[in-house]
Amino acid sequence: MTALEGLHFSIKKGALVALIGPNGAGKSTLLRCISRVLKPTLGTLYLDNRDLQKMPLQEVARSLAVVPQDTAVDFDFSVEEIVSMGRYPYLGRFQRESQQDREIVRRAMETTGIAYLAQKPVTNLSGGERQRVIIARALAQEPDLLLLDEPTANLDINFQVEFLELARKLNREKGITVIAAIHDLNLASQFFEYFILLAEKKILSIGKPEEVLTPENINKAYRAPVVIQRNPLHGKLSITVLKRSYLEEKGQRLKVHVIGGGEESVSILAALFDAGFQLSVGPVTREDSSHQFASCYRLPVVTLPPFSPINDHFHRQHLALMEKAHIVVVPSIPFGLGNLRNLEAVEEMLLSRLTGVILEETPFGERDYCGGKARAVYEKIKEKGALFLPDSEALLSYLHDREKNKKPGW
């Protein structure tokens, strides 16, 4: 059975490469071919323009090192003894380590932050500590190429970040070429500069993150619809997997329009989304978290320009979107002169078949920043029969009851 076929690519010295793809795509197989654990049936692998299969094994061990998925050690070797094994490619038969060898081992342990564990049995270490020991052993080989096979698969998130930070540090400070098979696309995006995407036994895409991590490529490789955005904290690409159930036909679920933006609205949107209701949002600016939520899940949304008031044009757009809903929800958001017109739109729409639901997790008087104008509209909404509920839990209960008792044609 063929695991990989038709691969043709090159990696520059000093590159920091993420090897990604779904389970069974061939990531580990490719790394095993590069490390000579497996021999390709066809084709040739070159290291510095030399046929890798024809190079002496000891020379290969001096040029590349591997950190495998399984870092279990069954014998009570000390940490220093395990790391010292990285010097074996440089020693002759029965030759003992020189002072230079011991110095290289010491530096490898210091670089990986495990020097204080030197005399401790490796079997007594945590998973994160043991992973550092294995990479220290690899560093002691003084390789030009470091292969990492799912290095973060069994680590807690803090160890995952520390490990990848270490890999990047080795790449930048020592010029070591790093190729890592990795599952977590967001971690890969945060730390790696070059990507190889494998799918269906072939290379689907290769290049910079922006070239490889596209919705089309990810959907084709993983069979998962995604949205790609920039993470505001570090500027790297961020991948959000969309729920397939929402992207499919919703049938006759209630249509709910959620007013306004901010964290208060996002929490309501998330609860309604998980419950499966048909949603619309707005008006909000593109920078608002509610707009980002709407973009992720392809919800109808009224989009305002930054720092712009809700003029007649956007007010009409808002009314038109609300008319398509059965229920409009006003989260417990503050109201100022900039968004007062949203509350006025609710009052206006209550004259139609629309049901207005006002959430009061925070008393309205504490959220009126219009000198009482918002309170006046609020009182009119109350007079016209809007429903007032304390929180999202009560809202979900009400909506589910409405669906149970729905009438044909609503």
Q: What does the pLDDT look like over 179-228, one tens digit per residue?
A: 999 999 999 999 999 999 999 889 999 999 999 999 999 999 999 888 88
Convert the pLDDT of each residue in 232-255 to its tens digit: 888 899 998 876 555 454 556 889
Rounded to whole angstroms, the Cα distance separating 114 from 108 reads 9
Bridge partner list, 388: 358
Provide the residue type at 68 as one letter: P
Q: Look up the pTM and report it.
A: 0.74
Domains along the sequence of the chain with CATH: 16-241 (3.40.50.300), 245-404 (3.40.50.720)
d(CA 84, CA 126): 20
Report the pLDDT averaged over residues 331-348. Answer: 92
- Summarised one tens digit per residue, pLDDT across range 123-148 is 888 877 888 898 899 999 999 999 99
At residue 345 the predicted structure's pLDDT band, cuts being 50, 70 and 90, is very high
Tens of pLDDT, residue by residue over 173-189, are 989 999 999 999 999 99
* Cβ(264)–Cβ(333) below 8 Å: yes
For residue range 322-339, what is the model confidence (pLDDT) as tens digits? 999 999 999 999 999 989
User: What does the block give as tokens for 214?
Assistant: 């596209």
Contact between residue 346 and residue 260 where contact means Cβ atoms under 8 Å apart? no
Model pLDDT for residues 255-314, shown as the tens digit of each residue: 999 998 888 899 999 999 988 899 999 899 988 888 888 887 889 999 999 888 899 999
Q: What's residue 44's pLDDT?
A: 92
Burial 141-165 (b: 16+ CB within 10 A, else e): bbbbbbbbbbbbeebeeebbebbbe
**Rounded average pLDDT over 362-369:** 91
Structure tokens at 59: 């020379």
Instruction: Fill in the amino acid letter for 184.
Output: D
